Amino acid sequence: MKSSDDLHANRPRIAVTGGAGFIGSHTAVALYESGYAPVIIDDFRNSAAGVIGKIEGLIGAKLECYAVDCGDIASLSQLFAAPLHGAIHFAADKSVGDSVAEPEQYFANNLGSMAHWIRAMRSHGVAHLVFSSSCTVYGEPDSLPVDEQAPLQEATSPYGYTKQAGEQLLRYAHAASHAADKTTPGSGMGAALLRYFNPIGAHPSAAIGELPLGTPSNLVPFLTQAAAGLRDELVVFGNDYPTADGTCVRDYLHVCDLAEAHVAALQHLEKNPGDFDVFNLGSGSGHSVLDVIRTFEAATGVAVPHRIGPRRPGDVISVYAAAQKAADILGWQTKRSLHVALADAWRWQQQVG
């Protein structure tokens, strides 16, 4: 295995905050495969330290890694000692329910740490930033598919609010960096804000995937645990919505497709230094909860024990992406089907047990 020094010798370094998490770990692999040196910053509050070894196994090289909160800038002097080409900022808490119970934590982590991180990036002249946003910023959209021009709705949870505010922070930071550029040329940064729809699946090797702590609140990890017999049954949250089969509709995309979108966004910023833009990342297709169950069963041959239960408060009825802008500007679109994503999620579930 190559050492992290060898890794740095020829490749642009890209800081990946939250790089041991679900999307961050897959993006670290995609970055390496595209010629970059991912540098992981993760405090492992919601991820396993063993993920780093798994990423290293997939890429065949040692990683540069900092086991700290990305807002703890005093512990990151080594990180900034060598040139950083760009950063992808994933680090955030992401549970809608927990955010309602612990709003202070969500503000402190998703916004406080982020603000420290962005200020450090700007003061070290890091040119490119890719940010993890969410389709949650659209709330219940007025029309479907939802495009980037759709108005943002008032957030229904502290989590959703932190994504909207994170986007706004970057708008201000981008403007400030370009104002400063007039006196300090080269200080203007570029930012790509990526609004994810519903990422699912796992790396086809089953070496990395989603590792929810405790009871999963998201559909696919709960579904695979129910199929594996680790949960009695999946409860479908409501079948009386105004959709084709009465269950909620979402735009599910494979996490490896999503990881590749981050590389495409970074390359877009390299070609368009100082740019600021927002992109939906989704497949463009909506699938109901029952579609997901049926597709999982067809892909794996494994039955999902499930029953219809009450609605979950706060759920949007239907949301899926207009994905054309990412195709036109980033040259990115999803390549992997729902079927493949669910088969990969199942392979991962069987591996983690």
Measured in degrees and rounded to the nearest 5, phi and psi for residue 130 equal -115, 130
By C-beta, is 297 or 315 nearer to ligand UD1?
315
Q: How does strand 249-250 pair with strand 198-200? A: unpaired
Q: Kindly write out the interface string for residues 183-212 of this chain, putting x where it contacts ligand UD1 by CB under 6 A and - elsewhere.
A: ---------------x--------------
Binding residue for ligand UD1 (CB under 6 A) from 14, 40, 96, 173? 96
By C-beta, is 110 or 136 nearer to ligand UD1?
136
Binding residue for ligand UD1 (CB under 6 A) from 17, 113, 134, 187? 134
Binding residue for ligand UD1 (CB under 6 A) from 248, 253, 322, 345? 248
Q: How far apart are CA 105 and CA 140, in angstroms?
A: 25
By C-beta, is 17 or 187 nearer to ligand UD1?
17
Q: How far apart are CA 230 and CA 155, in angstroms?
A: 33
For residue 80, state whether it binds ligand UD1 (rule: CB under 6 A). Answer: no
Q: Kindly write out the interface string for residues 292-321 of this chain, putting x where it contacts ligand UD1 by CB under 6 A and - elsewhere.
A: --------------------x--xx-----
Q: How far apart are CA 307 and CA 39, in angstroms?
A: 43
Select the span of 50-58, 187-195, 214-222, 267-275 touching ligand UD1 (CB under 6 A). 214-222
Unique residue bearing structure tokens 């590792």: 211
Residue 285 contacts residue 277 (beta carbons within 8 Å)? no
For residue 225, state whether it binds ligand UD1 (rule: CB under 6 A). Answer: no
By C-beta, is 19 or 221 nearer to ligand UD1?
221
For residue 21, state whether it binds ligand UD1 (rule: CB under 6 A). Answer: no
Judging by beta carbons within 10 Å of its beta carbon (0-12, 13-18, 19+), is residue 154 exposed, middle or buried?
exposed
Judging by beta carbons within 10 Å of its beta carbon (0-12, 13-18, 19+), is residue 80 exposed, middle or buried?
middle
Residue 76 contacts residue 68 (beta carbons within 8 Å)? yes
Is residue 159 annotated as part of the catalytic site, yes or no? Answer: yes
By C-beta, is 192 or 293 nearer to ligand UD1?
293
Q: Kindly write out the interface string for residues 137-176 of this chain, putting x where it contacts ligand UD1 by CB under 6 A and - elsewhere.
A: -----------------------x----------------
For residue 250, state whether it binds ligand UD1 (rule: CB under 6 A). Answer: yes
For residue 136, state whether it binds ligand UD1 (rule: CB under 6 A). Answer: yes
By C-beta, is 136 or 300 nearer to ligand UD1?
136
Smallest separation, CB 138 to ligand UD1 (Å): 9
By C-beta, is 13 or 94 nearer to ligand UD1?
94
Q: Which of 159, 161, 241, 320 is catalytic?
A: 159
Binding residue for ligand UD1 (CB under 6 A) from 7, 88, 121, 219? 219
The residues annotated with a catalytic role in the active site are 159
Residue ranges binding ligand UD1 (CB under 6 A): 94-96, 134, 136, 160, 198, 217-219, 222, 234-237, 248, 250, 289, 312, 315-316
